Amino acid sequence: MDWIRLTKSGKDLTGLKGRLIEVTEEELAKHNKTDDCWICIRGLVYNVTPYMEYHPGGEGELMKAAGADGTDLFDQVHRWVNYESMLKECLVGRMALKPIALPKESTSALSEEKKCLNGMLPESKIVGTSKSFAPSYDWFQTDCSVTVVVYTKQKGMNSEMVILDYEDSRLRGEIIIRDYSYLLNIELSNAVQEDIAVHVAEKVGKVEIVLKKKDNIPWKKLGQPLESHNSFIKRTDQGLYYRKCKLISKTEVTHDTRLFCLLLPQSTHFQVPVGQHVYLKQIVTGKEVVKPYTPVSCSLQTHFKEPSCHDGACLFLMIKIYPSGLFSSELDRLQIGDYIYVSNPEGSFQKCQVQTLEDLFLLAAGTGFTPMIKLLNYVLTNVNSLWTVKLMFFNKTEDDILWRDQLEQLILQDKRFEAQFILSEPSKEWNGKRGKISSSLLSEFFKRSKQDSKVLICICGPAPFTEQGERFLKDLGYCKEEIHSFTA
Domain extent listing, the chain: 1-95, 136-237, 242-346, 351-485
- Does the domain at 351-485 match CATH 3.40.50.80? Answer given as yes
What lies within 8 Å, CB to CB, of 30 at 6+ separation is 67
What distance in Å separates the CA atoms of residue 429 and residue 399, rounded to the nearest whole number? Answer: 13
Q: How far is CA 413 from CA 146, 179, 376, 380, 408, in A?
A: 48, 37, 13, 11, 9
Q: Is there a contact between 282 and 331 (Cβ–Cβ < 8 Å)? A: yes
The CA distance from 271 to 346, in Å, is 11
Q: DSSP for 66-114?
A: TTEE-HHHHHHHHTTS-HHHHTGGGEEEEEPPPP-PPPHHHHHHHHHHH
Alpha-carbon distance 362 to 461, whole Å? 11
261, β-bridge pairs:
249, 316
H or E, element range at 143: none
**Positive or negative CA dihedral for 337, 347, 301, 362?**
negative
Apex CA 463: angle with CA 422 and CA 251, to 5°?
65
b/e 130-140 (16+ beta carbons within 10 angstroms → b): eeeebbbbebe
| Cα Rg of the chain, angstroms | 25
201, 172 contact by CB (below 8 A): no
Contact assessment for residue 12 and residue 49, using Cβ atoms and an 8 Å cutoff: no
Give the three-state DSSP class for 241: coil
User: Could you tell me how many helices (H) and strands (E) the chain has, helices first?
Assistant: 11, 29
Distances (CA, A) of 191 to 140, 211, 319: 16, 9, 38
| Count, residues in the chain | 488
pTM of the prediction? Answer: 0.74
Nearest to 91 by CA among 20, 42, 24: 20
Give CA angle at 337 (332, 343), nearest 5°.
Answer: 70
Residue 125, pLDDT score: 59
- Strand ranges for 105-227 from DSSP E: 125-126, 136-141, 145-151, 162-167, 170-177, 180-188, 197-201, 206-212, 223-225
Taking alpha carbons only, the member of 360, 409, 350 closest to residue 387 is 360
136-237 folds as Immunoglobulin-like (2.60.40)
The CATH class of 242-346 is mainly beta
Of 175, 322, 342, 205, the closest CA to residue 265 belongs to: 342
Nearest to 273 by CA among 331, 213, 349, 339: 349
Residues 6+ apart with CB under 8 A from 326: 284, 289
Q: Which of 370, 390, 385 is nearest to 457 (CA)?
A: 390
SS3 of 447, please?
Answer: coil
Per-residue model confidence as pLDDT tens for the chain (488 residues) = 888 889 888 889 988 887 888 889 999 999 999 999 999 998 889 999 999 989 888 888 899 999 999 988 887 777 777 788 889 899 998 887 654 333 333 333 334 433 344 444 445 555 555 555 689 899 999 999 999 999 988 888 899 999 999 999 999 999 998 888 999 999 999 999 998 999 998 888 899 999 999 999 999 999 999 988 999 988 888 888 999 999 999 999 999 999 999 999 999 999 999 999 999 999 888 888 899 999 999 888 655 455 555 445 899 999 999 988 889 999 999 999 999 999 999 988 988 889 899 999 999 999 999 999 999 999 999 999 999 999 999 999 999 999 999 999 999 999 999 999 999 999 999 999 999 999 999 999 999 999 889 999 999 999 999 999 999 999 999 999 999 999 86
Burial of 129 (0-12, 13-18, 19+ CB in 10 A): middle
Q: What is the pLDDT of residue 234?
A: 87
Q: In whole angstroms, give the CA distance from residue 236 to residue 284.
A: 26
- What integer pLDDT is reported at residue 302 of this predicted model? 53
Domain 1-95 has CATH 3.10.120.10: yes
Whole-angstrom CA distances from 254 to 13, 142, 237, 324, 420 are 48, 53, 38, 18, 19
